[in-house]
């Protein structure tokens, strides 16, 4: 690798970073990360930081998972690539499809469609949903329903069902026929209540009203995250997803669970759908499927959809969709090793236990720091919402949020900021001591922002 002087000199000069303003990156170059070990990362100056971001929700097993690294290097030496388009396949892809069918069996999933990442998985699920209804003789079922504050990636399909204007406005007009329901957001919502159950009931009624207004026979699918991630870690009431599933079933609407973040243990359950006791029609996965070591994803497909496609003998049943790297043998090998390690280490159990400790500590910080308006979390996905005034919930300014970030960084913990939210999604291997370290660093950051 180039030396540190070269990297520092050219940082952000020749690249546009995702989810950032290019001019701001040039003016304030991003932190250069050069190493990772266990639950820690190392910056270009040699500073070690506990990674409170988990890469980007995806490094569940930490940075030293030798089983996944070995699987990648071994597969590179055996077959570094071959296409999985019609007519050819590879061994790791086949093995992984069997392992995932077993793993997601309790969620009702029976088939896999492999992708290059989360946005690809969402795009695939949306396309398959429309195609499913065409196979069944209902071509007018083209509309999609989603939740405000939900995040579903960056393709035009995903951006259209996204529920945050930051990912939509600059790219409009997006796909027609997308319907957005209110977010299950107890801290800010249009229902004049902070009761999660009442909010869930109101959203379910809203969905029912939209079905009547649009016509059930025009709606292809509802897509939702079991726990909303990038929108600010919004945890719905346990009745929401089952209630929406019931309405989908009554009206012939598919349910797509966006599990790109929540699959493989992050919420304290093996999947977000299993957390709420729901079997969706499709599940979008990526991120932790390879521990972030290789770009890879999978759409898991339920039996109803699989049977409809496989029974159709017309051209409509043929899948005219796919990616050059669908079923990449190196990615599949990485996913196989990662799945085995995830099960072996029982990551959901640790995520649940450490999540309880982290959430309790965040609530304690809220009691001591008036800048914290709200605390939310489930398992090892948590958020602090910072405000300038608790009474009217005015969001904290960008400068204040930046000071919290810097203070935590100086104290040895990497956190993530999004608007006026501090988002935490550490690796699922963290210890009780690591939780205390995160809380101490946040305390330092909050103090620095209020001095």
Q: Which two tokens stand for residue 195?
A: 């009761």
Average pLDDT over residues 23-32: 96
Give the pLDDT band of residue 24 (cuts 50, 70, 90).
Answer: very high
Nearest partner of 224 among 234, 212, 209, 210, judged by Cα: 234
In this predicted model, what pLDDT tens digit does every residue of 296-353 receive, in sequence order? Answer: 999 999 999 999 999 999 999 999 999 999 999 999 999 999 999 999 999 999 999 9
Answer for the pair 176, 213: CB distance below 8 angstroms, yes or no: no
Nearest partner of 57 among 185, 222, 186, 233, judged by Cα: 233
In this predicted model, what pLDDT tens digit does every residue of 44-98 receive, in sequence order? Answer: 999 999 999 999 999 999 999 999 999 999 999 999 999 999 899 999 999 999 9
The C-alpha torsion from 279 through 283 and 287 to 289, rounded to 10°, is 70
425, pLDDT greater than 70: yes
Say how far apart CA 88 and CA 105 lie, in whole Å: 26
Q: What element of type H or E holds 421? A: strand 421-424
Q: What is the pTM of this model?
A: 0.97
Q: Which two tokens stand for residue 82?
A: 């071959």
Nearest partner of 71 among 55, 92, 90, 89, judged by Cα: 92
Q: What is the structure's pLDDT at 2?
A: 79
257, pLDDT greater than 80: yes
Q: Which two tokens stand for residue 291?
A: 């521990």
Give the pLDDT band of residue 1 (cuts 50, 70, 90).
Answer: low
Nearest partner of 2 among 54, 40, 44, 52, judged by Cα: 44
In this predicted model, what pLDDT tens digit does every residue of 102-126 receive, in sequence order? Answer: 999 999 999 999 999 999 999 999 9
Q: What is the structure's pLDDT at 86?
A: 87
Average pLDDT over residues 143-155: 97
Residue 313 sits at φ, ψ, to 5 deg, of -110, 15
451, pLDDT greater than 90: no
Q: What is the DSSP string of 335-399?
A: HHHHHHHHHHTTHHHHHHHHHHHHHHHHHHHHHH-TTEEEEEEETTEEEEEEEEETTTTEEPPHH
In this predicted model, what pLDDT tens digit does every residue of 268-296 receive, in sequence order? Answer: 999 999 999 999 999 999 999 999 999 99
Say how many CA atoms lie within 13 Å of 414 toward its Cβ: 24
Mean pLDDT rounded to a whole number for the chain = 97
Percent of the chain with pLDDT over 90: 98
Average pLDDT over residues 196-206: 98
Say how far apart CA 447 and CA 451 lie, in whole Å: 6
Residue 261 sits at φ, ψ, to 5 deg, of -95, -45
235, pLDDT greater than 70: yes
Say how far apart CA 27 and CA 143 lie, in whole Å: 42
């Amino acid at each position: 690798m180039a030396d540190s002087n070269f990297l520092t000199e050219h940082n952000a000069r020749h690249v546009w970073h995702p989810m950032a303003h290019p001019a701001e990156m040039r003016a304030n170059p991003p932190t250069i990360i050069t190493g990772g070990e266990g639950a820690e990362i190392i910056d270009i100056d040699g500073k070690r930081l506990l990674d409170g971001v988990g890469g980007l929700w995806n490094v569940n097993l930490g940075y030293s998972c030798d089983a996944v690294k070995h699987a990648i290097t071994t597969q590179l030496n055996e077959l570094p690539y071959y296409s999985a388009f019609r007519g050819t396949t590879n061994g790791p892809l086949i093995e992984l499809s069997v392992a995932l069918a077993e793993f997601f069996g309790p969620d009702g999933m029976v088939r896999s469609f492999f992708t290059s990442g989360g946005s690809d998985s969402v795009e695939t699920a949306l396309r398959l949903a429309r195609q499913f209804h065409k196979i069944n003789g209902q071509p007018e079922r083209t509309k999609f329903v989603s939740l405000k504050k939900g995040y579903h990636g960056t393709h035009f399909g995903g951006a259209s069902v996204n529920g945050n204007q930051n990912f939509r406005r600059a790219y409009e007009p997006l796909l027609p026929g997308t319907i957005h329901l209110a977010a299950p957001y107890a801290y800010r919502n249009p229902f004049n209540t902070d009761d999660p159950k009442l909010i869930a009931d109101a959203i379910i009624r809203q969905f029912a009203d939209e079905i009547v207004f649009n016509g059930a026979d025009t709606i292809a699918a509802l897509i939702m995250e079991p726990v909303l991630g990038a929108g600010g870690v919004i945890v719905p009431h346990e009745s929401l997803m089952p209630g929406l599933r019931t309405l989908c079933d009554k009206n012939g609407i598919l349910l797509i669970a966006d599990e790109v973040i929540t699959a493989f243990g992050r919420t304290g359950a093996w999947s977000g759908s299993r957390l709420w006791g729901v079997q969706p029609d499709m599940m979008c996965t990526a991120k932790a499927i390879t521990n972030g070591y290789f770009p890879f994803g999978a759409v898991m497909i339920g039996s109803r959809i699989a049977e409809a496609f496989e029974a159709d003998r017309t051209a409509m049943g043929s899948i005219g969709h796919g990616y050059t790297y669908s079923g990449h043998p190196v990615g599949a090998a990485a996913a196989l090793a990662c799945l085995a390690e995830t099960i072996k280490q029982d990551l959901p159990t640790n995520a649940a236990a450490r999540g309880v400790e982290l959430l309790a500590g965040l609530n304690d910080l809220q009691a001591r720091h008036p800048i914290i308006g709200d605390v939310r979390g489930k398992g090892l996905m948590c958020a602090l919402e910072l405000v300038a005034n608790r009474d009217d919930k005015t969001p904290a300014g960008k400068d204040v949020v930046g000071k919290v970030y810097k203070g935590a960084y100086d104290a040895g913990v990497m956190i993530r900021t999004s608007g006026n939210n501090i988002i935490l999604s550490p690796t699922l291997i963290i210890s009780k001591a690591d939780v205390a370290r995160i809380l101490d660093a946040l305390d330092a950051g909050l103090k620095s922002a209020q001095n």
